[in-house]
Amino acid sequence: MKLIIQIPCLNEAETLAIALAELPREVEGFSTVEWLIIDDGSTDNTAEVARRNGVHHVVRHPVNRGLAEAFMTGIDACLKLGANVIVNTDADNQYNGADIPKLTTPVLAGDADIVIGARPISETEHFSWIKKKLQHLGSWAVRVASRTEVADAPSGFRAISREAAMRLNVFNAYTYTLETIIQAGQSNMRIISVPIRTNADLRPSRLVKSISSYVQRSLATILRVFVIYKPLKFFAFFGAIFTFAGVIAGARFLWYLLEDNGEGHIQSVIFCALCIIAGLLLFMMGVIGDLIATNRKLLERINLRLQHIEHQRD
């Protein structure tokens, strides 16, 4: 059994050595433990620091492509290198490397496809009050969208089985954390959370440049993924709202018409027609989206089979 620990990096020369020093060389249940760094177009000597500190594999993007792209590049590289389980962590030493066995044990036992480390957010001193509340709110929204019980959705400290890794697809370039959970939940993968420890803050987060920006991007990600995986439910919901409003407006006009006073309420007829048309259009968009989603599922199955064939050859 091979475990590969991957770390996406962007200009992490100052903190990478500290993070690597925390990583285990041996983990119970695995005969081989290897480290992989994804250098996402760093302009410092991140790759050189990685090699000096005993990293087995370094994959480099010629330009910065974003955290999500770096994550998926690492997943692809780990699969090609024969990883049975992949652990993803951060280069800023936010997560405690000694907790990696907590993540891998449920995967090895066959109890989970993805295990996500849940940080003690309420006790994390360098998180502001508003950030703690938004973290909890965001995790709740992801739980609803993904139908899972993930306690800390933005956590990047996670273990992924080989089969789950081959099924993951990330469309958003901003971050992989929320999207992969919703996608996995909607695809009926087994996801669990385990409590983990965190280390002292070494540098400010590069992903959360401002609370408002992070909230907007996170909400957009959740909405987009939900539209991709549940288009009929999404568009039918809003279509029903417009249709209901149209029916109310039409009923209002008929009431006045029966009272012999419909002459001055022609605007209700116009509003009724517009709302019902909009509702029908939204419902049709949902039907079309559902057909596209069905094709996407078939393509995902084909892609999974192709990956099985490709990695068997490797």
Q: Where are the domains of the chain?
A: 2-228, 231-313
Give pLDDT, residue 273. Answer: 93
> Hey, what CATH topology would domain 2-228 get?
Spore Coat Polysaccharide Biosynthesis Protein SpsA; Chain A (3.90.550)
**Distance, C-alpha 244 to centroid of its chain:** 34
Give pLDDT, residue 221. Answer: 75
Sheet strands side by side (includes 85-88): 57-61, 32-40, 2-9, 85-88, 158-161, 114-118, 191-195
| Residue that the structure tokens 């959360």 belong to | 208
Question: What pTM does this model have?
Answer: 0.77
Give pLDDT, residue 92. Answer: 86
The token pair that represents 164 in the structure block? 């789950």
The token pair that represents 137 in the structure block? 């709110």
**Distance, C-alpha 43 to centroid of its chain:** 27
Q: Which region, left, alpha or beta, applies to residue 228 given φ > 0 means left and ψ of -120 to 50 means alpha?
A: alpha
- Per-residue model confidence as pLDDT tens for the chain (314 residues): 999 999 999 999 888 999 999 999 999 999 999 999 999 999 989 999 999 999 999 999 999 888 889 999 999 999 999 999 999 999 888 899 999 999 999 999 999 999 999 988 666 665 666 767 777 777 787 787 778 888 888 888 999 999 999 988 887 766 788 888 888 888 889 999 999 998 877 666 655 556 666 677 777 777 777 788 788 988 999 999 999 999 998 888 888 777 766 566 778 888 999 999 999 999 999 999 989 888 877 887 787 787 777 766 55
With 0-12 CB in 10 A as exposed, 13-18 as middle and 19+ as buried, what is 128?
A: exposed
Angstrom distance (rounded) from CA 275 to CA 101: 55
